[in-house]
Amino acid sequence: MGDIAVTTLPKPAMRPARPEFSSGPCAKRPGWAPENLANAVLGRSHRSKLGKARLKEAIDRTRAVLQVPDDFLVGIVPGSDTGAVEMALWSMLGPKPVQLLAFESFGKDWVTDVTKQLKIPAEVLDAPYGKLPDLSKVRKDADLVFTWNGTTSGVRVPNADFIAADRDGIVICDATSAAFAQTLDWAKLDVVTFSWQKALGGEGGHGVLVLGPRAVERLESYTPAWPMPKLFRMTKGGKLNAEIFEGSTINTPSMLCVEDAIDALKWAEGIGGLAEMKRRADANLAILADWVAKTPWVEFLAEDPATVSNTSVCLKVVDPRVTGLPDAAQADFAKKLASALEKEGVALDVGGYRDAPPGLRIWCGATVETSDVDALTPWLDWAFATVAADLQAA
C-alpha cells in the first residue's frame, strides 16, 4: 500500500445518539431506564419465595430466548463468565485428554488455568490474533475447551463442524460474546457459558452456566483429585445439585442485576427473540464492513471474512506511516484514536485490547442501534485524519 495523503477533516455533523460501544459491560438495551427495575426484590433474601421466583424467571427467559434444548440445564453462578468457565474446568476436566483452542486472551487464560493451576497435561492449539487455530486437529477422544467468539481478537469460529457428533470427550464452550448474537450449535456443545454484561447489556458479576446431559454425566461419574472451592461445587453425594439450576444460587446474587437481566430478556423477546438479535448484530457489522471496504487506513483484525465477529469487532490500522513505526509508537497512535473519539463523546471505550495489534474494538451486539454505528464511521475517519496529521507534523 502506498502513502495515503493525510489532511484534517471537519467534524461530522451527525453524532451517535448513544456513544457506548464498549465490549463489556456493553450498551444497555435501547429504551433502558432505572425505573424499569422497580420490581427488583430488594431488601429480601434471594432464597425467599419471591427471590427464587425472580431467579427462576431469569433462567426460564434465558432458555426461551437462546432456544436452549429442553434436556440442558441453565444456572446463574458467581464470577461472571470467568466464574462459569472455571466451575466447569475445575469440576469436569481430568479423566480424558484435554485440548484447548487459544486465539485470544481469554482462551489463553483457560490454558493457564488448565496447565498451570490444575496442572493437567493438555494440547494447546493456538493462533495469533486475527486467525483461528488448525481446527482439523481437534480430536473426538479428548475434552475440548474453546471460546466461540474471541472478544479481544474479533475472531469467531464460523460453525461447530470441527466438533465430532460422536465425540467421546466433553466440549466446554466460552460463549460470552457469542450468545444472543451468533448461532450456537447445541448438539456439539456440552457446557456453554456467558455473562449478562455482553450481548444482553446487563450488569457484571454474574455468569450463566448451561449444562448438557453429557456434562451432567461427567459431574456425576467423576470426582476431581484437587480441592474444590465452595463456589465451584455442583454436586452433593455424587449427584448434581439440581437446585442451582432452579434458582437456588450457590452464593448471594444481586437481585438488582437479576431484575436488569430479566428486563433485557423481555426486550429481546419483544423485538423478535434470537433471530432479531442476530439480525441486528449482523446489520451493525455490515455497516462497518462497508466502511472498511472503502477505507484504506483500516482493516478487520480477523483475516478470514468468515471469522469476523459481529459483536466485538476489532479493527487494525494499516496505514504505512503507522505500521512503519516502532511497536510502542503504533500502540500510542491507537490510544490517541480512541482518546480523540472519547473526547468528542462519540465513542466510549473503543480502544483495542492491550495484547492485540494496535487498533480499535467496537461492540456491535444487538443492544447497539445500527443508526449509531452508521453515525460513528465518519468520526472514525475524522479521528484518524486528526491523529495522523499530528503524527506527520511531529
Q: What digits encode the pLDDT tens for the residues 313-332?
A: 999 999 999 999 999 999 99
Q: Do 75 and 187 share a domain, yes or no?
A: yes
Q: For position 47, what pLDDT does the model report? A: 87
User: Are β-strands 312-317 and 298-300 bridged in parallel, bridged antiparallel, or unpaired?
Assistant: antiparallel
Local confidence band at 4 (pLDDT 50, 70, 90 cut-offs): very low
Query: Over 70: is that where the pLDDT of 3 sits?
Result: no
1-5, 150-154, 246-250, 309-313: range with lowest mean pLDDT: 1-5
Q: Is 274 exposed, middle or buried (0-12, 13-18, 19+ CB in 10 A)?
A: buried
Closest listed residue to residue 129, CA positions, set 384, 332, 361, 341: 361
Chosen domain end from 210, 245, 269: 269
Q: Do 281 and 260 share a domain, yes or no?
A: no
Query: Residue 345: which domain range?
Result: 273-393
Share of residues in the chain with pLDDT > 90 (%): 94
Q: Do 129 and 261 share a domain, yes or no?
A: yes
Share of residues in the chain with pLDDT > 70 (%): 98
Q: What is the pLDDT of residues 90-132, one digit of tens each?
A: 999 999 999 999 999 999 999 999 999 999 999 999 999 999 9
Q: Domain containing 379 — which CATH number?
A: 3.90.1150.10
Chosen domain end from 269, 289, 305: 269
Q: For residues 211 and 394, give the distance between their C-alpha atoms in angstroms, rounded to a whole number.
A: 56
Q: What's the pTM?
A: 0.96
Q: Do 278 and 195 share a domain, yes or no?
A: no
Query: Over 90: is that where the pLDDT of 8 sits?
Result: no
Q: Is residue 4 part of a domain?
A: no
Q: Is residue 11 part of a domain?
A: no
Strand partners, 100: 124, 145
Q: For position 394, what pLDDT does the model report? A: 66
Q: Is residue 7 part of a domain?
A: no
Q: For position 2, what pLDDT does the model report? A: 37
Strand partners, 77: 207
Query: Over 50: is that where the pLDDT of 210 sits?
Result: yes
Q: For position 241, what pLDDT does the model report? A: 94
Q: Is residue 229 part of a domain?
A: yes
Closest listed residue to residue 3, CA positions, set 296, 244, 369, 199: 296
Strand partners, 235: 240
Query: Over 60: is that where the pLDDT of 137 sits?
Result: yes
Q: Domain containing 120 — which CATH number?
A: 3.40.640.10
Q: What is the pLDDT of residues 20-49, one digit of tens each?
A: 999 999 999 999 999 999 999 999 999 899
Q: Do 245 and 226 share a domain, yes or no?
A: yes
Chosen domain end from 254, 269, 284: 269
Mean pLDDT on 180-195: 98
Mean pLDDT on 230-248: 93
What sign results for the dihedral spanned by CA atoms 278, 284, 285, 286? positive
Mean pLDDT of the chain: 96
| Site of grid cell 468457565 | 85
Q: Do 134 and 206 share a domain, yes or no?
A: yes
Q: For position 203, what pLDDT does the model report? A: 97
Q: For position 177, what pLDDT does the model report? A: 97
Q: Is 348 exposed, middle or buried (0-12, 13-18, 19+ CB in 10 A)?
A: middle
Q: What is the pLDDT of residues 355-383, one digit of tens each?
A: 888 899 999 999 999 999 999 999 999 99
Local confidence band at 6 (pLDDT 50, 70, 90 cut-offs): low
Q: For position 310, what pLDDT does the model report? A: 98
Q: Is residue 389 part of a domain?
A: yes
Q: Is residue 19 part of a domain?
A: no
Q: Do 218 and 323 share a domain, yes or no?
A: no
Q: Do 165 and 105 share a domain, yes or no?
A: yes
Q: Is residue 204 part of a domain?
A: yes
Q: Is residue 208 part of a domain?
A: yes
Q: Do 240 and 352 share a domain, yes or no?
A: no
CA atoms within 13 A on the CB side of 72: 25
Query: Over 80: is that where the pLDDT of 384 sits?
Result: yes
Domain count, the chain: 2
Q: Do 92 and 118 share a domain, yes or no?
A: yes
Q: Do 134 and 173 share a domain, yes or no?
A: yes
CB 164 within 8 A of CB 189: no
Q: Do 191 and 304 share a domain, yes or no?
A: no
